[in-house]
A = this chain, B = another copy of it.
Amino acid sequence: MIQIIPVEGLKLIKQGDRLGLEIVKALRARGFSLLDGDVVVVSHVVVAKSEGRVFRLSMINPSPQAVGLAQLTGKDPAHVDLILRESRRIVRVRGEVIISETRHGIICANSGVDLSNVGEGLAAALPEDPDASARRIRSEIEEASGVRVGVIVCDSHGRPFRRGAVNVAIGCSGLEPIWDRRGEPDLYGRILRSKQICVADELASAAELVMGQAAEGVPAAVIRGYKFRPGETGASQIIRPRSESLF
Protein backbone atom coordinates (compact mmCIF):
# COMPACT_ATOMS: atom_id res chain seq x y z
CA MET A 1 0.00 0.00 0.00
CA ILE A 2 1.09 3.54 -0.76
CA GLN A 3 0.15 6.53 1.37
CA ILE A 4 0.03 10.17 0.27
CA ILE A 5 0.30 12.54 3.21
CA PRO A 6 -0.24 16.31 2.88
CA VAL A 7 2.38 18.58 4.50
CA GLU A 8 0.07 20.86 6.44
CA GLY A 9 0.92 23.90 8.51
CA LEU A 10 4.02 24.89 6.53
CA LYS A 11 4.89 28.53 7.34
CA LEU A 12 4.61 31.09 4.54
CA ILE A 13 7.98 30.69 2.85
CA LYS A 14 10.22 33.72 2.21
CA GLN A 15 13.44 34.15 0.27
CA GLY A 16 16.33 32.47 2.06
CA ASP A 17 14.18 30.03 4.05
CA ARG A 18 15.57 26.51 4.11
CA LEU A 19 12.54 24.85 2.58
CA GLY A 20 13.62 21.28 3.34
CA LEU A 21 14.09 22.12 7.00
CA GLU A 22 10.73 23.90 7.18
CA ILE A 23 8.99 20.84 5.69
CA VAL A 24 10.56 18.58 8.35
CA LYS A 25 9.52 21.07 11.07
CA ALA A 26 5.91 21.27 9.80
CA LEU A 27 5.67 17.47 9.71
CA ARG A 28 7.16 17.15 13.23
CA ALA A 29 4.73 19.73 14.61
CA ARG A 30 1.95 17.31 13.61
CA GLY A 31 3.75 14.32 15.11
CA PHE A 32 4.90 12.95 11.75
CA SER A 33 8.42 11.62 11.15
CA LEU A 34 9.85 10.91 7.71
CA LEU A 35 11.13 7.39 7.01
CA ASP A 36 13.86 6.08 4.71
CA GLY A 37 12.45 5.77 1.19
CA ASP A 38 9.76 8.45 1.50
CA VAL A 39 9.32 10.76 -1.50
CA VAL A 40 8.72 14.45 -0.74
CA VAL A 41 6.93 16.34 -3.53
CA VAL A 42 7.17 20.14 -3.39
CA SER A 43 5.29 22.72 -5.45
CA HIS A 44 7.46 24.94 -7.63
CA VAL A 45 5.75 28.06 -6.23
CA VAL A 46 7.07 27.52 -2.73
CA VAL A 47 10.50 26.68 -4.17
CA ALA A 48 10.38 29.97 -6.12
CA LYS A 49 9.59 31.85 -2.90
CA SER A 50 12.53 30.31 -1.05
CA GLU A 51 14.88 31.04 -3.95
CA GLY A 52 13.86 34.65 -4.51
CA ARG A 53 12.24 33.87 -7.87
CA VAL A 54 9.13 35.93 -7.07
CA PHE A 55 8.90 39.22 -8.95
CA ARG A 56 6.81 42.34 -8.36
CA LEU A 57 5.09 43.12 -11.66
CA SER A 58 5.05 46.89 -11.02
CA MET A 59 8.88 46.86 -10.87
CA ILE A 60 9.16 45.47 -14.41
CA ASN A 61 9.65 47.80 -17.36
CA PRO A 62 8.21 45.68 -20.20
CA SER A 63 10.08 45.44 -23.49
CA PRO A 64 8.34 46.60 -26.71
CA GLN A 65 7.99 42.93 -27.72
CA ALA A 66 6.26 42.18 -24.40
CA VAL A 67 3.89 45.13 -24.86
CA GLY A 68 2.95 43.85 -28.32
CA LEU A 69 2.35 40.30 -27.16
CA ALA A 70 0.39 41.61 -24.15
CA GLN A 71 -1.95 43.51 -26.50
CA LEU A 72 -2.43 40.35 -28.56
CA THR A 73 -3.20 38.12 -25.58
CA GLY A 74 -4.85 40.53 -23.13
CA LYS A 75 -2.22 39.74 -20.52
CA ASP A 76 -0.38 42.14 -18.21
CA PRO A 77 2.68 43.46 -20.15
CA ALA A 78 4.92 42.90 -17.11
CA HIS A 79 3.75 39.29 -16.92
CA VAL A 80 4.49 38.83 -20.63
CA ASP A 81 7.91 40.40 -20.15
CA LEU A 82 8.71 37.79 -17.52
CA ILE A 83 7.35 35.02 -19.76
CA LEU A 84 9.65 36.15 -22.58
CA ARG A 85 12.67 36.46 -20.28
CA GLU A 86 12.10 32.88 -19.07
CA SER A 87 11.61 31.48 -22.56
CA ARG A 88 13.92 30.15 -25.22
CA ARG A 89 11.23 30.36 -27.90
CA ILE A 90 7.52 30.98 -28.28
CA VAL A 91 5.82 27.81 -29.54
CA ARG A 92 2.23 28.98 -30.02
CA VAL A 93 -0.01 31.95 -29.27
CA ARG A 94 -3.75 31.56 -29.43
CA GLY A 95 -6.32 33.72 -27.66
CA GLU A 96 -4.85 34.51 -24.27
CA VAL A 97 -2.68 31.38 -24.25
CA ILE A 98 1.09 31.62 -24.73
CA ILE A 99 2.86 28.25 -25.08
CA SER A 100 6.60 28.61 -24.84
CA GLU A 101 9.73 26.59 -24.37
CA THR A 102 11.48 27.62 -21.17
CA ARG A 103 15.22 28.06 -20.86
CA HIS A 104 15.23 24.53 -19.37
CA GLY A 105 13.53 23.16 -22.52
CA ILE A 106 10.13 22.60 -20.88
CA ILE A 107 7.20 23.31 -23.20
CA CYS A 108 4.33 24.77 -21.16
CA ALA A 109 2.00 27.74 -20.80
CA ASN A 110 3.52 31.10 -19.85
CA SER A 111 7.04 29.67 -19.40
CA GLY A 112 5.73 28.43 -16.07
CA VAL A 113 5.47 32.01 -14.73
CA ASP A 114 2.61 31.76 -12.27
CA LEU A 115 0.37 34.50 -10.85
CA SER A 116 -1.49 32.13 -8.51
CA ASN A 117 -0.66 31.57 -4.85
CA VAL A 118 2.09 34.19 -4.78
CA GLY A 119 0.17 37.30 -3.73
CA GLU A 120 -1.40 40.24 -5.54
CA GLY A 121 0.89 41.95 -8.04
CA LEU A 122 3.53 39.21 -7.79
CA ALA A 123 4.62 36.44 -10.16
CA ALA A 124 6.62 33.29 -9.47
CA ALA A 125 9.07 32.03 -12.09
CA LEU A 126 10.30 28.44 -12.24
CA PRO A 127 13.56 27.71 -10.40
CA GLU A 128 16.71 28.49 -12.42
CA ASP A 129 17.73 24.82 -12.14
CA PRO A 130 14.88 22.67 -10.75
CA ASP A 131 17.10 19.57 -10.35
CA ALA A 132 19.54 21.62 -8.27
CA SER A 133 16.59 22.87 -6.20
CA ALA A 134 15.50 19.27 -5.61
CA ARG A 135 19.06 18.32 -4.57
CA ARG A 136 19.27 21.22 -2.12
CA ILE A 137 15.85 20.49 -0.59
CA ARG A 138 16.78 16.83 -0.31
CA SER A 139 20.01 17.55 1.53
CA GLU A 140 18.17 19.93 3.89
CA ILE A 141 15.54 17.26 4.59
CA GLU A 142 18.11 14.51 5.07
CA GLU A 143 20.20 16.68 7.38
CA ALA A 144 17.19 17.66 9.51
CA SER A 145 15.58 14.20 9.63
CA GLY A 146 18.48 11.74 9.41
CA VAL A 147 16.68 9.64 6.76
CA ARG A 148 17.22 9.17 3.01
CA VAL A 149 14.41 10.47 0.82
CA GLY A 150 13.63 11.28 -2.80
CA VAL A 151 12.55 14.83 -3.67
CA ILE A 152 10.44 16.02 -6.60
CA VAL A 153 9.76 19.66 -7.51
CA CYS A 154 6.44 19.76 -9.36
CA ASP A 155 4.38 22.06 -11.57
CA SER A 156 1.01 21.60 -13.16
CA HIS A 157 1.11 21.47 -17.00
CA GLY A 158 -1.41 21.28 -19.82
CA ARG A 159 -1.11 18.59 -22.50
CA PRO A 160 -1.43 18.90 -26.27
CA PHE A 161 -4.00 16.13 -26.73
CA ARG A 162 -5.76 16.05 -23.38
CA ARG A 163 -7.83 18.58 -21.51
CA GLY A 164 -6.98 19.68 -18.00
CA ALA A 165 -3.56 20.05 -16.44
CA VAL A 166 -1.74 17.40 -14.46
CA ASN A 167 1.13 17.72 -12.04
CA VAL A 168 4.51 16.72 -13.45
CA ALA A 169 8.08 16.59 -12.12
CA ILE A 170 10.26 19.53 -13.21
CA GLY A 171 13.05 18.69 -10.76
CA CYS A 172 14.04 15.53 -8.94
CA SER A 173 16.79 14.18 -6.74
CA GLY A 174 17.49 10.86 -5.09
CA LEU A 175 15.28 8.81 -7.42
CA GLU A 176 15.44 7.80 -11.06
CA PRO A 177 12.64 9.68 -12.87
CA ILE A 178 12.12 7.01 -15.54
CA TRP A 179 11.76 3.31 -14.82
CA ASP A 180 13.08 1.42 -17.84
CA ARG A 181 11.38 -1.98 -17.83
CA ARG A 182 12.51 -3.04 -21.30
CA GLY A 183 13.82 -6.58 -21.17
CA GLU A 184 11.67 -7.64 -18.21
CA PRO A 185 9.16 -10.46 -18.69
CA ASP A 186 5.43 -9.73 -18.63
CA LEU A 187 2.75 -11.76 -16.84
CA TYR A 188 3.12 -14.54 -19.44
CA GLY A 189 6.90 -14.41 -19.82
CA ARG A 190 6.86 -12.23 -22.96
CA ILE A 191 9.77 -9.76 -22.89
CA LEU A 192 8.66 -6.11 -22.71
CA ARG A 193 10.07 -4.21 -25.68
CA SER A 194 8.97 -0.66 -25.15
CA LYS A 195 8.04 -0.10 -21.53
CA GLN A 196 9.50 3.02 -19.98
CA ILE A 197 7.43 4.58 -17.23
CA CYS A 198 7.89 8.15 -16.06
CA VAL A 199 7.44 7.40 -12.36
CA ALA A 200 8.51 10.92 -11.35
CA ASP A 201 5.53 12.38 -13.22
CA GLU A 202 3.22 9.72 -11.75
CA LEU A 203 4.47 10.54 -8.23
CA ALA A 204 3.92 14.27 -8.91
CA SER A 205 0.38 13.58 -10.13
CA ALA A 206 -0.35 11.38 -7.11
CA ALA A 207 0.87 14.13 -4.78
CA GLU A 208 -1.47 16.69 -6.31
CA LEU A 209 -4.43 14.65 -5.08
CA VAL A 210 -3.67 16.00 -1.58
CA MET A 211 -1.89 19.23 -2.47
CA GLY A 212 -4.88 21.39 -3.43
CA GLN A 213 -3.63 24.37 -5.34
CA ALA A 214 -5.97 27.12 -4.23
CA ALA A 215 -7.11 28.33 -0.82
CA GLU A 216 -6.04 25.15 0.98
CA GLY A 217 -2.37 26.00 0.67
CA VAL A 218 -0.78 22.56 0.91
CA PRO A 219 2.44 23.11 -1.05
CA ALA A 220 4.04 19.72 -0.37
CA ALA A 221 3.20 16.06 0.18
CA VAL A 222 4.94 12.90 1.32
CA ILE A 223 4.51 9.65 -0.61
CA ARG A 224 5.25 6.60 1.52
CA GLY A 225 5.56 2.99 0.40
CA TYR A 226 6.70 3.45 -3.21
CA LYS A 227 9.95 1.58 -3.85
CA PHE A 228 11.76 3.97 -6.17
CA ARG A 229 15.05 3.23 -7.87
CA PRO A 230 17.70 5.53 -6.34
CA GLY A 231 19.59 7.73 -8.78
CA GLU A 232 20.62 11.23 -9.68
CA THR A 233 19.64 11.51 -13.36
CA GLY A 234 17.36 14.48 -12.68
CA ALA A 235 14.03 15.51 -14.18
CA SER A 236 15.78 17.38 -17.01
CA GLN A 237 16.14 13.92 -18.59
CA ILE A 238 12.34 13.65 -18.84
CA ILE A 239 12.28 16.47 -21.37
CA ARG A 240 12.14 14.97 -24.85
CA PRO A 241 14.65 16.64 -27.15
CA ARG A 242 13.15 18.09 -30.35
CA SER A 243 15.13 15.57 -32.37
CA GLU A 244 13.16 12.74 -30.68
CA SER A 245 9.78 14.43 -30.97
CA LEU A 246 7.19 12.83 -33.22
CA PHE A 247 5.11 16.04 -33.35
Contact = CB atoms under 8 A, between A and B. Distances in A.
A193 to B, nearest CB: 8
Given A3-B4, A164-B196, A186-B215, 17 more contacts: A2-B3, A92-B247, A117-B187, A119-B190, A120-B189, A159-B198, A161-B239, A163-B178, A163-B240, A164-B197, A164-B201, A164-B238, A166-B201, A184-B214, A187-B215, A202-B205, A209-B226
Classify chain A: how many residues form its interface, as a range. Answer: 35 or more
A192 B116 contact: yes
A59 interface: no
A168 interface: yes
Nearest to A218: B187
A95 to B, nearest CB: 10
A67 interface: no
A41 to B, nearest CB: 12
A206 interface: yes
B163 A117 contact: no
Interface in A181-235: 181, 184-190, 192, 194-199, 201-203, 205-206, 208-210, 213-215, 217, 223, 226
Given A5-B1, A116-B192, A214-B184, A164 B209 contact: no
B201 A205 contact: yes
Nearest to A92: B246
Contacts of A165: 195-198
A146 to B, nearest CB: 23
A18 B118 CA distance: 49
A97 interface: yes
A61 interface: no
A206 B4 contact: yes
A214 B195 contact: yes
A243 B31 CA distance: 51
Given A2-B209, A205-B202, A238-B162, A214 B196 contact: no
A115 interface: yes
A10 to B, nearest CB: 11
Contacts of A168: 162
A161 B215 contact: no
